[in-house]
Structure 1
Amino acid sequence: MKNQILKLVLFIFVAAFVVSCQEDPLEDIISNDRQFLSFKIEGQVGPSIIKSIGEDSGTIELFALTDNVNLNNITPIFEVSEKGSVSPQEGEAVNFNNNDGSFTYQIVSESGKSRAWTVIINTYDSTLDGNWKVSSLIYDWHIGLNNDWGWGVFGPYDVATSSYDPANYAPEVLAKDFPNVAFEEDNTLEFRTLLINENGNPEGAFSFGAGADNTFSSFVLDPDHKGNVRDYSDRYRQMPEGNGVWEYNELGKVITLWEGNKNGPSVKGDVTVDAQGNITIAFNIWEDAFTWDHWDAESHIQNAYTIYYNFEEDNL
């Protein structure tokens, strides 16, 4: 038994010695890598778009609030290929005003190959900034979702494909079920970008006004089918009334709205922009709390999924 243990120890020792004496198969490989892995400047919105072009060139395109950036003196933060050398180096200030907001870096690989990288700074044009007015409020509702007996804005459920036909989708005007929502349809919204935070997200202030009728909708159903007053404001009041602040994730197209300041209540919405530049903010309001205590409009209200605030430019 002792001999077997001794042989095993000896085998492990010899194997480890042989492996340690073998040459690293990658040791003599000379790297040709000459890439920018990341690139960021102060005031930048979102990530940089880094593209190699052919064998010896590439572009880095980014967006920034150029009004708040001194293009004559920018010190980017970046990362390049491990064995590549870059000129100018990280930490050196460069002048982007010499060539219409662009600057060219050179990265030389370990093998001596060179690639010229042209960095282009574009002015960030916010799709949110401006004065808006509510053009419509629509919403999605559906009873018996993913059941062939269900009905609502998604149309009939196709059991064979486990899906709904998009051609049947028809969101409903919210004021049809909530008469008081008509007060919301003349409301005004002002967005202003104030800064770009460390995550590259624009932040700013907003003001959501009551419009010409000086009235916000309370999302009250009066009366319900039992003759009572039923208030759904806690669920449907997504746009904060009055003044607040916001942060917009440009990459994910998600806006966070805070009532008052960032210590106040917040809500997230998905932002889309149409071909005319009009914006829509969609809020998820689904609650899995359906009961058969409903009648007509109340069944729609209780089975709502998404509310859409559609805004068009307000030419004051």
Structure 2
Amino acid sequence: MLPRTTVIWAGSLLGLSLLGGCTQDPFKDIESHERAITAFTLDKGQIGVAEITRTPETGKIVVYAVRGTDLSNVVPTIQTSYKATVSPGSGQPVNLSANNRTYTYTVTSESGEARQWTVEVKDYESDLDGRWQVTNLQFQYFIGEGESWGWNGTKNLSANIPDATKENDNILEMTTTGVTADGKVTGTFTHSPGPDGVFANFMFGAVDYNYKFRKLPRNQGTWLRDFATNTITFNNGQAGQARTVALEFSADKRTLKMPFNVQPYDIDWNGSGSKQELGGAKFAWYMFRKL
């Protein structure tokens, strides 16, 4: 059980930071026994927030980093509990590549009590990394939405554009390469045409619908994953060709759905029913299975 004063300090830390230097510290005559690391951030490669586990006797921090990150000379930023000090200090370079990528810090409270904190760095295992095969490409359409004569539905895109079946054996291979300063994960991709050797061409007769349905760029490029919006943006290096889709994993992470909005909503009222459905498409999605 922590001392009563410890609980008070922990709960009041935010308030103290807001009071600023011009206000007298209400705890200046109370000696702190706290000796915890409250936040730990690498200067490169880290994915997400460090996992901090603490017992009355021990402390452990697990940090996930992009595979291949050079950990031999990193500069962690370390936050400690009220009036505690840490050795080595925050901002001091350390080697986290040795000793099975573990490192021990010592945190000392204002009262002089010390606790050892073990930091362990693990490779970030991305649920995107690996090879994925396209199994289907579907779309949802609305014609005359809200009208008694209207219709809507969900279909395989190949029902309206037969050439879309060529997409169903495509292989998407993704590899995580890094992380941005604001926490987005970066990587590379290769989108190959599969055993049939060809990509789909989304044409309905002479009408080109690639502007609607070619959301997965061909060949190679980079991607940026935004966890806040649960989206991934593909970029093949061509100006104006970045494509953003959502990510929906199955519970076992073995299948993946990438839905996207289909714009613009441009129905050809003089066209056939199939052509009207393509123009009236609002959503489409790729389905993948992990190889």
TM-score (normalised: structure 1): 0.68
Among 176, 182, 186, the residue aligned to 2:159: 176
Percent identity, aligned pairs only?
27
Q: Deviations over 1:183-217 (max 9, x none)?
A: 21122223233444444444333222233333322
**Gap regions ≥5 residues in structure 2:** 1-22
Change in 2 beyond 3 A, CA 1:39/1:152? farther
Residue 121 of structure 1: aligned partner: 121
Question: What SS does structure 2 have at the residue aligned with 1:89?
Answer: coil
Residue 230 of structure 1: aligned partner: 207
Change in 2 beyond 3 A, CA 1:213/1:76? same
After superposition, where does 1:293-304 map in structure 2 within 5 Å?
Answer: 295-304=272-281
Distance in 2 separating the partners of 1:124 and 1:248: 14
Distance in 1 separating the partners of 2:113 and 2:272: 74
Amino acid at match of 1:206: F
Distance in 2 separating the partners of 1:63 and 1:251: 18
User: Is the CA contact 1:107–1:116 (under 8 Å) kept in the aligned structure 2?
Assistant: yes
Question: What SS does structure 2 have at the residue aligned with 1:217?
Answer: coil
Residue 225 of structure 1: aligned partner: none
After superposition, where does 1:211-226 map in structure 2 within 5 Å?
Answer: 211-222=194-205
Does structure 1 residue 270 correspond to structure 2 residue 246?
A: yes
Residue 107 of structure 2: aligned partner: 107
Change in 2 beyond 3 A, CA 1:257/1:311? same
Distance in 2 separating the partners of 1:24 and 1:126: 48
Distance in 2 separating the partners of 1:32 and 1:148: 71
Change in 2 beyond 3 A, CA 1:297/1:39? farther
Question: What SS does structure 2 have at the residue aligned with 1:298?
Answer: helix
Residue 187 of structure 1: aligned partner: 170
Change in 2 beyond 3 A, CA 1:236/1:98? closer
Amino acid at match of 1:193: T
Residue 236 of structure 2: aligned partner: 259
Distance in 1 separating the partners of 2:113 and 2:216: 55
Among 242, 261, 268, the residue aligned to 1:284: 261
Change in 2 beyond 3 A, CA 1:28/1:177? same
User: Is the CA contact 2:39–2:80 (under 8 Å) kept in the aligned structure 1?
Assistant: yes
Question: What SS does structure 1 have at the residue aligned with 2:26?
Answer: coil
After superposition, where does 1:243-258 map in structure 2 within 5 Å?
Answer: 243-250=220-227, 252-258=229-235
User: Is the CA contact 2:47–2:124 (under 8 Å) kept in the aligned structure 1?
Assistant: no
Does structure 1 residue 67 correspond to structure 2 residue 80?
A: no
Change in 2 beyond 3 A, CA 1:75/1:286? same
User: Is the CA contact 2:174–2:189 (under 8 Å) kept in the aligned structure 1?
Assistant: yes
Residue 130 of structure 2: aligned partner: 130
TM-score (normalised: structure 2): 0.73
Change in 2 beyond 3 A, CA 1:252/1:68? same
Q: CA deviation at 1:252?
A: 4.6
User: Is the CA contact 1:244–1:258 (under 8 Å) kept in the aligned structure 2?
Assistant: yes
Q: Deviations over 1:49-69 (max 9, x none)?
A: 344535565443221134332
Question: What SS does structure 1 have at the residue aligned with 2:277?
Answer: helix
Among 207, 211, 227, the residue aligned to 2:190: 207
Residue 79 of structure 1: aligned partner: 79
Residue 283 of structure 2: aligned partner: 306
Q: How well do the aligned residues superpose, as a CA RMSD in angstroms?
A: 3.5
After superposition, where does 1:90-105 map in structure 2 within 5 Å?
Answer: 90-96=90-96, 99-105=99-105
Distance in 2 separating the partners of 1:193 and 1:128: 8
Q: Deviations over 1:104-162 (max 9, x none)?
A: 434344465655543231112233333332111123334566x5967545xxxxxxxxx
